Amino acid sequence: MITTFQQHIQEQQQEVSEASGTFSYLLAGITLATKMIQAKIRLAALDNAYGAIGQTNVQGEQQQKLDVYANEALLHCLGLKDSVAALVSEEDEEPVTFDRSLETGKYIIVFDPLDGSSNIDVNVNVGTIFSILKRQPHGDLNASILRPGHTQVAAGYVVYGPSTVLVYTVGNGVHSFTLDNTIGAYVLTEEHMKMPDQGSYYSTNEANAATWPQAYRDYLELLRSGGLGREYSSRYIGSLVADFHRTLLKGGVFLYPPTSKQPNGKLRLLYEANPLAFIAEQAGGSAVGGGSVNKACSRILDILPEGIHQRTPFMYGSKREMEALAEVLGK
Ligand code: AHM
Ligand code: MG
């Protein structure tokens, strides 16, 4: 018999304190929104849903019609849940907050509604990333939002590819589900996923390599010259979720170091790096970032965020590749 995402969360109720009825009801908001998003993406060309909407978001980036739709779907499906105190989105400058008591409004959801903007219009995989934080009993909502990634109670992503796949963790392993459109449910396809200890791919935008700090260039050379005992091949999709999903399944390493254009990194700490770092660690890999040019890297999950749209250099991957990276960066 099949196990759906809802059933899986409920089965974990005994094992994980967060997996209460409220929590699974909350996650149902995320699954519904992602089903709406994948349905929209599948028909985008027929539905006139490709292209830019003609306005820029808080990051100064052109908003795509599908970015806006994905954001609205998540705000709509999650905003109605009593247990939500705030929603923080890549597309909105400020958190959307709800006037709910501490007892009811216990959670904050942070998300990148549709990641991989450059791939949206060209029928290449894109994704949704989410992170769930517990509201703190003291201080304002902002203080509850700006907490290090190791305090996340759940994280996950959905990759919209040839199939729609949801991967999540509540700190009890990493589990994967595939959307069965014939029954409209995410069905368990892999439990307790483990990233291989070493892979054979490195994944990076090599066009930026000339402007990386020297240590990252040395590391790339180490991979390319067979220094880790393997011949590496390169794979870079340019959609973080898709590159992450491949690395989770096949192993290897992903690098987005500081560049001259983006000295503090490009990817966002709260809704890109933190959730994926949580999943990487749960699967036996690791993730580092923080700092900037000439500044040391640290574990992503230990970084104390200063702003909701903060960027960070972001590197993650298999045990072997990440140990070698730490060695090169530590020199
Ligand atoms: P987005 O949030 O505007 O989609 O940008 C994030 C994307 C990631 O999906 C991807 O890893 C990265 O940007 C690619 O950047 P680049 O085009 O500089 O290689
Ligand atoms: Mg993004």
Percent of the chain with pLDDT over 70: 95
- In angstroms, the CA 77 to CA 284 distance is 32
**Boundary residue ending a domain (190, 219, 240):** 190
Please give the helix or strand (H or E) that residue 132 lies within, else none.
Answer: strand 126-134
Partners of 234 in the beta sheet?
202
User: In a mutational test of the pocket of ligand 1, which residue from 63, 68, 117, 264 has the highest number of ligand atoms less than 8 Å from its CB?
Assistant: 117
Average pLDDT over residues 261-269: 95
* Residue 62 CB–ligand 1 contact under 6 Å: no
* Residue 116 CB–ligand 1 contact under 6 Å: yes
Same domain, 307 and 205: yes
Q: Check residues 216 and 16 and name the one with the higher pLDDT.
A: 216
Same domain, 172 and 236: no
Same domain, 53 and 181: yes
Asked if residue 297 is part of any domain, the answer here is yes
From the number of C-beta atoms within 10 Å of its C-beta (0-12, 13-18, 19+), residue 120 rates as buried
Domain tally, the chain: 2
Asked if residue 242 is part of any domain, the answer here is yes
Residue 290 confidence (pLDDT):
85
Number of neighbouring beta carbons within 10 Å of residue 134: 16
Q: Mark the residues whose beta carbon lies below 5 A from ion ligand 2.
A: 112, 115
Q: Identify the domain containing residue 321 by its residue range.
A: 201-330
Same domain, 186 and 257: no
Residues with Cβ within 8 Å of residue 74, at least 6 apart in sequence: 29, 30, 33, 87, 89, 109, 111, 113, 128
- Counting atoms of ligand 1 from 1, which one is nearest the CA of 126? 9
**Boundary residue ending a domain (190, 214, 239):** 190
Asked if residue 145 is part of any domain, the answer here is yes
* DSSP-H helix ranges across 43-149: 65-79, 141-145
Angle in degrees, 0-180, between the axes of helices 319-330 and 214-224, rounded to the nearest 10: 140
Residue 289 pLDDT > 70, yes or no?
yes
Asked if residue 195 is part of any domain, the answer here is no
Asked if residue 284 is part of any domain, the answer here is yes
Same domain, 91 and 220: no
| CATH code: domain of residue 59 | 3.30.540.10
Residue 176 confidence (pLDDT):
98
Residues with Cβ within 8 Å of residue 17, at least 6 apart in sequence: none
Asked if residue 219 is part of any domain, the answer here is yes
Contact 239, 124 (CB under 8 A): yes
Same domain, 43 and 133: yes
Same domain, 185 and 250: no
**Boundary residue ending a domain (169, 190, 211):** 190
Average pLDDT over residues 278-285: 98
Provide the CB-side half-sphere exposure for 47 (13 A, CA): 13
Tens-place pLDDT, residues 15-71: 666 656 788 889 999 999 999 999 999 988 788 888 888 777 777 777 889 999 999
Asked if residue 196 is part of any domain, the answer here is no
Residue 17 confidence (pLDDT):
61
Taking the centre of ligand 1 as the mean of its atom positions, its distance from the CA of residue 65, in whole angstroms, is 17
Same domain, 22 and 145: yes
Same domain, 177 and 246: no
Same domain, 288 and 164: no
Q: How is residue 116 written in tokens?
A: 């991989």
* Residue 61 CB–ligand 1 contact under 6 Å: yes
Q: Whose CA is nearest to atom 17 of ligand 1?
A: 238
Tens-place pLDDT, residues 112-137: 999 998 898 899 999 999 999 999 99
Proximal ligand: closest to the CA of 243: 1
Work out the pLDDT band at 144, boundaries 50, 70, 90.
very high
> For the chain, how far is it from start to end, CA to CA, in angstroms?
53
Same domain, 176 and 244: no
User: In a mutational test of the pocket of ligand 1, which residue from 115, 236, 237 has the highest number of ligand atoms less than 8 Å from its CB?
Assistant: 115
Same domain, 124 and 29: yes
